[in-house]
Amino acid sequence: MQAKPAAADADAYGETLARASVLIVDDEPGMRNFLTKTLSPRCKRVEQAESADAAARLLDSNHFDLVVLDNIMPGKTGLQWLREQRRVGFFGDAILITAYADLETAITALRAGVADFVLKPFRANQITNAVARAMDRQRLRRENYLMRYELQSDDTGARGRLLGTSPQINRVRDLLVKMAPLPTSVLFTGASGTGKEVAARTLHSMSDRAGQPFVPINCAALSPDRIAQELFGIVDDDQHRTEGLFLHADGGTLFLDEVAYLPPQVQATLLRVVEEHKVRPSGSERELPLNVRILFATNADLPKAVDAGTFRADLFHRINVVNIEMPTLENRGDDVVELAAMFMAQISRALGLPALDLNESVLLKLRRYTWPGNVRELRNLIERSVILGEFPDEFAGTGAISGTEAIETLELVEQRHIMHVLDACNGNRAEAARRLGVSRKTIDRKCALWEN
């Protein structure tokens, strides 16, 4: 049963309640209809089941955040049914409605993972408040888990913006705009440090999932013997359950970086998840439906890995629907200037240290450097320089324009202009010479001089 929440109710109970998917399990039609009438205007989705078996069938094919459960039903109690569902893989919260709340029932309910009790008889606002509290706790648990997980990453630069105006980065940006409204998986490739996670975060922020979690996972950093549990979750028994990162990302975007490092058995499971949009936690008898967009990244040569037998060919073809190749910093022209300025402002502010002067001489030396570590190397250079209070010798320079240094400054301006034209010509020296009105030999001679 679908219903859009009223604006006033959304304001009173919060956006979390408006996104809730609720299953009502009760053998009394009058109670089911009362609960449905109460919750439907405020929740995204409300379904009802008249028996434990009917409820189990709904859980087999649908995702529910919360179950509102009557304890006294024909055949088995609500708590018996809930413990069964925990064992086969139900991770949502539960609210127990009962006329009897003795100590034994309370202990059994806590062990089964009941989030709240509502004693009969109750009013509409009591059940609504109980559902809202349960959803708020669920949201906070998810946010805290993801925050702790993300803080384990030391690559703070990956949380930045996709900066630059070079033709290469503009092509990436155009592809992201095209892909943002689509559910299609994307494979980001390119050398280490080129900003694959930044591009993935940008894609997420442009999509309709922007308000939902973005969960980055470095596959190379996960323990090989625990990676399946970390990704897909585990069910030990009715009291011990761990939601995997796929379930925590539900509704949002999951970013699998360094996907080439996944063990073969995990690759097989991932292929099934990508194709069917369902995940089966370890030890679970039930596949759980997923609403998540999966993005992939690697700096490895996946076709070569397929040929070598270390990466599944069927998984490669499944994730390689749209490939976005991230350009190296060396090939991004004057983007290094914009990136250096952003990192200098961010890092000096975060560390509480004075920013260094990015004068013309420094910028040109940054521009001339080949950056084997790409954007990550640039950020690390800026951070180290801010901490030490000066640039390394190979990047240090002055911005003076008086005396004998005026000649050097003019040479730097000439060099920067020629390199800018070469970027516009995609490195074609003959075309650059034509645009500048000089000979090809002149361009070759100057480039050789700068490279030495």
Residue 147, domain member (yes or no): no
For the residues 323-330, what does the mean pLDDT come to? 93
Asked which of 84, 104, 139 is the last residue of a domain, the reply is 139
pLDDT category, 394, cuts 50, 70, 90?
Answer: confident
CA-closest candidate to residue 247, choices 225, 272, 220, 280: 280
Cα 210 from Cα 194, distance rounded (Å): 23
Residue 184 shares a structural domain with residue 311: yes
For residue 243, CA distances in Å to 27, 86, 154, 201 come to 30, 12, 24, 23
Query: 374 Cβ partners below 8 Å, 6+ apart?
Result: 191, 192, 193, 194, 195, 328, 329, 330
CATH code (residue 275): 3.40.50.300
Cα 403 from Cα 410, distance rounded (Å): 12
Residue 151, domain member (yes or no): no
Query: 93 Cβ partners below 8 Å, 6+ apart?
Result: 65, 66, 67, 113, 115, 134, 135, 137, 138
Q: Are strands 114-119 and 21-25 parallel, antiparallel or unpaired?
A: unpaired
CATH code (residue 23): 3.40.50.2300
CA-closest candidate to residue 46, choices 30, 34, 28, 60: 34
Asked which of 77, 108, 139 is the last residue of a domain, the reply is 139
Q: Where are the beta strands (DSSP E) in 200-275?
A: 214-218, 234-235, 241-242, 253-257
Residue 242, phi then psi, degrees to nearest 5 = -130, 120
pLDDT recorded at residue 255 = 95
CATH code (residue 393): 1.10.8.60
Tell me 326's DSSP state: P
Instruction: Report residue 333 as tokens.
Output: 């022209």
Residue 252 shares a structural domain with residue 323: yes
pLDDT at 235 over 90: no
Residue 357 shares a structural domain with residue 315: no
Percent of the chain with pLDDT over 70: 87
CA-closest candidate to residue 344, choices 353, 331, 332, 333: 353
CA-closest candidate to residue 164, choices 12, 36, 334: 334
pLDDT recorded at residue 24 = 93
Residue 125, domain member (yes or no): yes
For the residues 217-224, what does the mean pLDDT come to? 86
pLDDT category, 406, cuts 50, 70, 90?
Answer: very low
For the residues 102-107, what does the mean pLDDT come to? 76
CA-closest candidate to residue 30, choices 70, 76, 78: 70
**Which range has highest mean pLDDT (376-380, 400-404, 445-449)?**
376-380
pLDDT at 244 over 60: yes
Largest CA distance in the chain: 97
23-74 tens-digit pLDDT: 999 999 999 999 999 999 989 899 999 988 899 889 888 889 899 999 888 8
Instruction: Report residue 389 as tokens.
Output: 């209070």
Domains in the chain: how many in total? 3
Cα 443-444-446 angle, rounded to 5 deg: 65
The helix/strand/coil state of 114 is strand
Cα 23 from Cα 353, distance rounded (Å): 54
Residue 17 shares a structural domain with residue 118: yes
CB–CB of 344/382 below 8 Å?
yes
For residues 3 and 173, the model is more confident at 173
Residue 340 shares a structural domain with residue 421: yes
CA-closest candidate to residue 235, choices 280, 199, 274, 190: 280
126-145 tens-digit pLDDT: 999 999 988 888 888 887 77
Range of the domain at 129: 7-139
For residues 156 and 274, the model is more confident at 274
342-371 tens-digit pLDDT: 889 889 988 999 999 888 888 888 888 889
Bridge partners of 187, per DSSP, are: 296, 323
Residue 182 shares a structural domain with residue 323: yes
Residue 13 shares a structural domain with residue 77: yes
User: What's the whole-number average pLDDT of the chain?
Assistant: 83
CA-closest candidate to residue 215, choices 193, 241, 246: 246
Residue 246 shares a structural domain with residue 386: no
Residue 146, domain member (yes or no): no
Residue 167 shares a structural domain with residue 282: yes
Residue 1, domain member (yes or no): no
pLDDT recorded at residue 448 = 73
pLDDT recorded at residue 362 = 87
| Cis? peptide before 121, omega within 30° of 0 | yes
Tell me 78's DSSP state: H
Asked which of 139, 168, 186 is the last residue of a domain, the reply is 139
Residue 145, domain member (yes or no): no
201-216 tens-digit pLDDT: 999 999 999 888 899 9
pLDDT at 110 over 90: no
Residue 221 shares a structural domain with residue 318: yes
CB–CB of 273/262 below 8 Å?
no
Cut 0.95: pTM above it: no
Lowest mean pLDDT among 4-18, 252-266, 281-295, 376-390: 4-18
CB–CB of 255/216 below 8 Å?
yes
For residues 322 and 164, the model is more confident at 322
CA-closest candidate to residue 281, choices 61, 87, 23: 87
pLDDT recorded at residue 248 = 87
Helices (DSSP H) in 180-220: which residue ranges? 196-206
pLDDT recorded at residue 403 = 34
Cα 147 from Cα 149, distance rounded (Å): 5
pLDDT category, 411, cuts 50, 70, 90?
Answer: low
For the residues 112-132, what does the mean pLDDT come to? 87
pLDDT recorded at residue 88 = 82
Residue 319 shares a structural domain with residue 341: no
pLDDT recorded at residue 1 = 44
Residue 319 shares a structural domain with residue 174: yes
pLDDT recorded at residue 322 = 94
pLDDT recorded at residue 385 = 93
